[in-house]
Structures are given as C-alpha cells and as structure tokens.
Structure 1
C-alpha cells in the first residue's frame, strides 16, 4: 500500500498546478509538496551539534586518495 494518495496528488498537480503529466511524474514527492505550499523549515545546525559531528567524523589527515 502506498503512503501517497495518488489520485489527490495527481488532481492537485495536473489540475491545480496545471502540470503536464510528464512534468508531474518527473517531480519527486518533496518537490510536489513544496509546489503545493507545504513548507517545513529545518533549523540550522547548533554549535554543539556541529561539535558532536566533528568528533564523530573527524577530518582525515595524511596522504590523500590520489597520492598527494
């Protein structure tokens, strides 16, 4: 079972937004949601979150993959 209500999405995309079928099917679900006005804001990374990421994934030092 699909998590998307395709008939409703197709109606909104084809009739509401005036998309051609090829344009509708070329969109990702995220792009379609954005075009339909769903705005979900993502908070920027806080300093402590950045520090945690830097600890978990430190920059590698030494020789690069291409031999430099």
Structure 2
C-alpha cells in the first residue's frame, strides 16, 4: 500500500485527522478519495430485456 501518498491525500486534501485516517476502512478511504467508480443504474430498456429473459414464475 502506498501509505505515504494515501496519508497525504487524506490528511492534506481531505483535512482528516490521523485518527480518522487510521479508523477508516480501505473502502471508506477509497470512496472519500474518489477511487471507487459508481456503476450506472440499470436503464428501462435493459430492465425490460432482462425481465423478458428471466420472467417471474408464479408456481
């Protein structure tokens, strides 16, 4: 892990205290630093296509 870089970005860029940095999970840190990309929501066309492929069973 590039700890020095992560600490500089969290404490310098985000103004976190050292205790905040060390208490954060890797996922929380990545999210705060913008390293996690959000997946786009499923559009209506894709949803309808999937519903046609995998219809609900009523049995």
TM, length-normalised to structure 1: 0.53
Determine which structure has the larger helix proportion and give its number: 2
Of 13, 19, 22 in structure 1, the residue corresponding to residue 19 of structure 2 is 22
Residue 36 of structure 1 aligns with which residue?
33
Structure 1 distance, partners of 2:7, 2:36, is 19
RMSD: 2.1
Which structure would you say has the larger Rg?
1
Question: Counterpart of 1:18 in 2: which secondary structure?
Answer: coil
Question: Counterpart of 1:19 in 2: which secondary structure?
Answer: coil
Q: Structure 2 unaligned runs (5+)?
A: 42-49, 51-59
Aligned length: 45
